[in-house]
Chains A and B, each alone.
Chain A
Amino acid sequence: MLLKTTKTALLKGIDQVLSTYQVAALTKQDSRVLYNYVKTSHDIFWGCRPTVLPPKKFFFPPHETLLDYTADGQIIAKIESKPLVLFGIHPCDLRGIQILDEAFADLHGDPNYLERREKAIIIGLDCHQTCDQDSFCYKVGAHYAKTGYDIMLYPLKDDQYLVEVATDRGNVFAEQFLRAIKGEEKELEEYQQAKAKAFESLKPFKDLEKFPELFQENTHHPVWEHEGARCLSCGSCVMVCPTCYCFNVTDDWELNMRAGKRQRHWDACMLHDFTTVATGENFRPTATARLHHRINRKFNYLMKKHGQSVCVGCGRCVRACLADISPKTIAEAINGEDEKEWN
């Protein structure tokens, strides 16, 4: 279903929503732009600016309690979740959410992620141009969101928006909170044509669909050592990635030794001890091998599994990496697009 509305109506809708739901959106704090809970629609930062952390933190927080237990053996599986409206999520991050949805629901459904995700309504906001020079969503086709949203907003001129209602949940939501008129398919077509034009010169990776095989064949390409040698194994790139979801689990008693908890924390395959076992053996001991692993998760191992690039090109890892290591550079070396001699 296609509707059309205005920014004013959207803001009003959000203020109404806030009486029933938590709303998280882009906000401005000090000099930072980040996804955060808002108190009123005025808190929303109405622009497109890359955030340090992607919205995954709402479904998979950096630290969370999995179990609460007591010394006398009571154990409770703990999930903290509340209904949430995620507002203004850009295509790359919608892709990221879609991939995490699949990853956490794969084979063994992760209760903590899925329960939070179940309770969320996601309102996307389309991009009609790239957000900065580090992003490369267009290289992997992630500047178009295919799924992963309940409602998608397409910005038109004069603070008007086309509203694509994609799910039943989105429909109930739109009916309840959004004053809108019927949208014309033609308007959406025009919008899409203009967007296609804006991205015309920004081409996808050469041979993107063959990446799994290409990366498999190029395990020993010199680009790995070249980039890996500079890697600090700092883990920043993984922390900020919308499609990284590795975690560590720790147990701790409270100081009174009567109660304790099991928690999970974000972990990163780029960190030196990620694969170290109790005997001291490390199965992936070099920064180069770890970089190879991380990038292969994006363009090979998990790409095979999810049927699309697991790097969504949001550019967060590029902005975060002080050593200037980028999946784009590596991919362009592997597919030969850069026509550079790496030896």
Chain B
Amino acid sequence: MELALVQSNAKLYLPEPARIVKVRNFTEHEKFFQIELLRKGSLGHDPGQFVEVSILGIGEAPISIASPPDSGNRFDLCARAVGDVTKKLFTFKKNDLIYIRGPFGHGFDDKIFQRMRGKHLLFIAGGIGYFPLRSLINQVIPNAKNYKKISILYGCKTSQDRMFPDELKKIHHLSVGSNVELLETLDHPEADWTGNVGVITTLIPKIDFDPAETIAIIVGPPIMYKFVLTSLMDKHMPKENIYMSLERRMKCGVGKCGHCQMEGVYVCQKGPVFNYADVEHNEELF
């Protein structure tokens, strides 16, 4: 393979300041942040890409961009508080400054959008897998006419773990008489839950799809992939019709530090969005 040798990029590790303009609590551990770059101009991302979020003196963490591309200088991030950076981010309020590098990685680019056109889109999200998927979901729903159908399957542990409940409600409303549908399931539902109960794969038989004409997009916790893929394989879904976002430990986000490399693949460069056919033999990714 030829190496694309490039000039030194003086700003590669230099983050730019951005302001938190909106904060919303989902749960005790998950929050939504709307971010505004201090400069004019948009972030310029594809759905599925991520940014490295810096908090000075604490560190950096890769976080998916949760809003669709647009021309403004705002974008959304959602974070689960698990460690140093994410817990500190949780204490941040409106008007606080964070620092951003990116967008990085390979998301849903034009090529993938061309493939999706006219097809049935099948989103399969588990838990906070909805964060990275939201950028794509919120991009395709207003353009639903471009697709044969849009099915969103969303599984969570309990009803408290449902992210963006108001947006989910809107999608449920929208689905009446349109080609958009949202099916939800809970592992441990409360008494008033009227939806499906069980793991996410129990939703798959409930939708009607022609595997050859369907593009599946999967994001969830690591163990979810295996089960979902098995279900889709049982339905004879072609592997190249399956996309998924895979997350690994990252430091640099730009293919240097080596942390995200699984076999020969740098997840921060080739991913996080992968086509299943490209990586099915990668034993470290699966």
Contact = CB atoms under 8 A, between A and B. Distances in A.
Are A and B in direct contact (Cβ within 8 Å)?
yes
Interface of A: 66-67, 69, 71, 73, 75, 77, 102-112, 114-115, 118, 219, 245-253, 257, 260, 262, 264, 267, 269, 274-279, 281, 283-284, 289, 293, 296-297, 300-302, 304-307
Contact of B11 (A77, A104, A112): A77
Contact of A109 (B1, B8, B58, B99): B8
Nearest to B17: A73
A274 B3 contact: no
12 contacts: A77-B11, A77-B13, A105-B6, A111-B8, A245-B256, A248-B259, A269-B258, A275-B249, A277-B247, A278-B83, A281-B222, A304-B1
Contacts of A102: 3, 5
Contacts of B9: 108-111
B109 to A, nearest CB: 16
B261 A301 contact: yes
Interface residues of B, number: 46
B257 A247 contact: yes
A276 B17 CA distance: 28
Interface in B145-179: none
A111 B251 contact: no
A329 to B, nearest CB: 22
A247 to B, nearest CB: 5
A246 B254 CA distance: 12
Interface string B239-268: 000000001110110111111011110000
Interface string B269-286: 100000000000001100
B57 A274 contact: no
Interface of B: 1, 3-15, 17, 54-60, 82-83, 86, 97, 99, 222, 247-249, 251-252, 254-259, 261-264, 269, 283-284
Contact of B82 (A108, A110, A279, A296): A279
A107 B259 contact: no
Contacts of B8: 105, 109-111, 114-115, 118
A234 to B, nearest CB: 18
A278 B86 contact: yes
Given A111-B9, A279-B82, A267 B255 contact: no
Contact of A107 (B55, B99, B248, B269): B269
A195 B172 CA distance: 77
A250 B6 contact: no
Nearest to B254: A108
> What are the 5 closest A-B residue pairs judged by CB atoms, nearest first?
A246-B258, A301-B264, A114-B8, A278-B83, A278-B82
